[in-house]
Amino acid sequence: MVLDYGLGNLRSVTRGLERAGATVRIVDDPEAIQSADGVILPGVGAFGDGMENAGPFREALLEAAAAGQPILGICLGMQMLLTTSEEADRAGQGDVTGLDLVPGRNVKFRGDLKIPHMGWNELDVKRSHPVIEGIDGGYAYFVHSYYGVPEDTDSILVTSEYGVEFPAVIANEAGNVIGTQFHPEKSGEIGLRLLKNFVAFAADA
């Protein structure tokens, strides 16, 4: 199930999941979440807008996470799993609170770097999880200006490097809520592998 909260190109992620063997439903009804084997929180755009648009899904997502349903947040969808973002502070939107499923903060890349971090970067697996099997050392497609920093470093499954080593895949403590900073649906074979892993993980959960 892919949540449609008004942002992003859902076509590629839908096709990617279908290729991974999933039956995909695009939903804009929070109540539909409960019946899904797995939930995809896609995302493109700004943190404040994302949280605002995802507002109606908030309670249903928190319940699904607590019940152990697999959830995959992509790009902004990953950032929304954390608690806060510098992006909303900078945009003058005050304290826009994320889902807080993985406690932490989203910060902007600093230093003499081109922003956004856009393109293919290498993945370095730090911890094992069924969803990231077979992706170590592969390249994935990133496009973002902010990155998530979980409070607990055990939440970081995969990192990449752009001026600084930053989290590329994170998970909550229970392991059912996963976020990828890169776009698996745009990352060729490596990305399809991750989607396939997620579909299998969701089917088993």
Partner 1 sequence: MTLTKRIIPCIDVDVDEDGNAAVYTGVQFEDLEYTGDPVEMAKEYNEAGADEFTFLDITASAEGRETMLDVVEQVADEVFIPLTVGGGIRTVEDIKETLRAGADKVSINTGAIERPELITEGATAFGNQCILLSVDARRRFDEAGEHYVQIDGESAWFEATIHGGRTGTDLDVLEWVREAEERGAGEMFINSIDKDGTKDGYDLPLMEAVSDAVSTPVIASSGCGHPRHMLEVFEAGADAALAASIFHFDEYTIQETKEYLDDHGVPVRL
Instruction: From 13, 1, 5, 11, select the one nearest 191 (Cα to Cα).
Output: 13
- Clarify whether 133 is annotated catalytic: no
Check binding of 192 to partner 1 (CB under 8 A).
Answer: yes
Q: Which is nearer to partner 1, 27 or 49 (CB)?
A: 49
Check binding of 196 to partner 1 (CB under 8 A).
Answer: no
Check binding of 193 to partner 1 (CB under 8 A).
Answer: no
The active-site residue out of 31, 117, 183, 189 is 183
DSSP for 36-59 reads: -S-EEE---S-HHHHHHHHGGGHH
What is the C-alpha end-to-end distance of the chain, expressed in Å?
15
Instruction: From 122, 141, 123, 132, select the one nearest 175 (Cα to Cα).
Output: 132
- Clarify whether 185 is annotated catalytic: yes
- Tell me if residue 99 falls in helix, strand or coil: coil
Selected from 57, 162, 166, 201, the binder of partner 1 by CB under 8 A is: 162
Instruction: From 9, 18, 39, select the one nearest 205 (Cα to Cα).
Output: 39
Check binding of 9 to partner 1 (CB under 8 A).
Answer: yes
Residue 29 CB, shortest distance to partner 1, in Å, is 20
Tokens 């979980």: give the residue: 150
Check binding of 188 to partner 1 (CB under 8 A).
Answer: yes
Interaction site with partner 1 (CB under 8 A): 9, 11-12, 15-16, 44-46, 114-122, 124, 139, 141-145, 160-162, 183, 185-188, 191-192
- By annotation, the residues acting in catalysis are 75, 183, 185
